[in-house]
Structure 1
């Protein structure tokens, strides 16, 4: 079981699957590496794929300290890559994973930090995919009050159903069965304090000023029916990042990468296989 160590000593669990050019898969807020389970093997067939448990999730350490932030998570990713002996990799971040991928301030970056995905450390990043994510609250489009109310219901079963419907279409939920295991609904092993710290980290994210510095070839992917992280964030990112491409998946909701894997995975793999130059 590979364990890297963050700068503050927190243990960071990660796994490596497959072979080929390295690809880091970054999961959503309050979720572990299991987020990628439904599609990880498809990526590992073509890449040396790295998945990790964010601090506070899975088998990583769970400090009750003020070390949870998107810049901090990015430094954790770098610690994992250093431990795995990977100097350069593609990055595919979805939801909060996309915020981590696009959101480390150069002013705050530490030595060997991920930086602004190539702006500060261009040798570390090859190609970048930002899925169902946003530049952050100050300039991004936030979810509506009806969505926030649905997710904060006191009735846990009703809140879970609301989250399911934000992640997947009704048809997909019916085919899978509502009581099936869904890896996108949050890590059930997280204690409340780490869940609160993850929420705070996502709420504080702001990458707007740094987006124009991203030098890596970038693909922005989003579902057209995503209300959890509104689709309007996709063009904001694509217009702000130099030469970025955007692809909207018709009818897809937040977990497009799972439900629409038949379209989304080949799309991403094709983009990653292109030669930069």
Structure 2
């Protein structure tokens, strides 16, 4: 584990694995870097994978309370790249991590080579926001209620350690509440048109937390984007749908010369 310093001096824990072009993974709301699990391991066969714990999560310091917004959390992501000696990286964000990745691409376009966004949205004004029952289940802390929102039941049953690691965020209630507010307060719709990086949008058709219309709107707002709808996938498609790893790899390799990942479902 290594330490990077955020703009306010907060210590951010990060790690790396693999060789090749740098790929920064930005985890979701109140989720630690360990939660990437098998996805990070698979990607590390092809890239220099950088992961980190958000402020207030895992081994990172909590930092200033006023810096818990997706836009300011993007400055933390930039600090990880600086600590790793990386001028520009491919960026993959899941859920709230996708919201943070949007701001990174908007505010630091020179830092982002390609952008991959999974199970995310451009803000709270989107059509098809998650229903109240799904949100309440997410906030309950009850794994029996949360797991079906994220993963296919069969996959979850076969990978209990990965499920446990994903949800074991090692965060205080103080940090979790600020992550929730940061994610809910995200609104980048007016700025998404300025994203220059070729963008891959991955979204499950059965995502109850961030329903599919969010991805459709993202695709409409980000000019150089490709939308891949993943049949039957829920909110945790980055883990229980390993085919997404191949699509990301192909997308990055193509560098926007062919905007549709080979073998992926059409948008």
Does 2:126 correspond to 1:133?
no
Out of 237, 240, 244, the position equivalent to 2:218 is: 237
- Correspondence for 1:6: 6
Structure 2: how far apart are the matches of 1:181 and 1:217?
31
CA contact (8 A) 1:29 1:186 kept: no
Does 2:18 correspond to 1:18?
yes
CA contact (8 A) 2:8 2:63 kept: no
Please report the RMSD computed on the Cα atoms of aligned residues, expressed in angstroms.
Answer: 1.8
- Correspondence for 1:220: 201
Out of 166, 169, 188, the position equivalent to 1:184 is: 166
- Correspondence for 2:246: 266
Structure 2: how far apart are the matches of 1:82 and 1:144?
38
CA contact (8 A) 1:134 1:140 kept: no
CA contact (8 A) 1:184 1:255 kept: no
Q: CA deviation at 1:152?
A: 4.5
Does 2:49 correspond to 1:66?
no
Structure 2: how far apart are the matches of 1:167 and 1:209?
29
* Change in CA separation of 1:6 and 1:251 when aligned onto 2, cut-off 3 Å: same
Further displaced range: 126-135 or 58-67: 58-67
Structure 1: how far apart are the matches of 2:23 and 2:180?
26
- Return the TM-score normalized by structure 2: 0.90
- Correspondence for 1:257: 238
Structure 2: how far apart are the matches of 1:6 and 1:53?
12
- Correspondence for 1:41: 41
CA contact (8 A) 2:114 2:255 kept: no
Q: Which has the higher helix share?
A: 2
CA contact (8 A) 1:147 1:228 kept: yes
- Correspondence for 1:161: 144
Gaps of 5+ in 2: 258-267
* Count of aligned residue pairs for this structure pair: 257
- Correspondence for 2:154: 171
- Return the TM-score normalized by structure 1: 0.87
Helix, strand or coil at the partner of 2:233? coil
* Change in CA separation of 1:274 and 1:166 when aligned onto 2, cut-off 3 Å: same
Out of 196, 200, 205, the position equivalent to 2:177 is: 196
CA contact (8 A) 1:132 1:222 kept: yes
CA contact (8 A) 1:64 1:194 kept: no
- Correspondence for 2:99: 99
Further displaced range: 44-53 or 164-173: 164-173
* Change in CA separation of 1:163 and 1:204 when aligned onto 2, cut-off 3 Å: same
* Change in CA separation of 1:193 and 1:174 when aligned onto 2, cut-off 3 Å: same
Structure 2: how far apart are the matches of 1:13 and 1:86?
16
CA contact (8 A) 1:99 1:205 kept: yes
Q: CA deviation at 1:186?
A: 4.9
* Change in CA separation of 1:7 and 1:172 when aligned onto 2, cut-off 3 Å: same
Q: CA deviation at 1:239?
A: 0.9
Structure 1: how far apart are the matches of 2:127 and 2:90?
25
Structure 2: how far apart are the matches of 1:257 and 1:271?
15
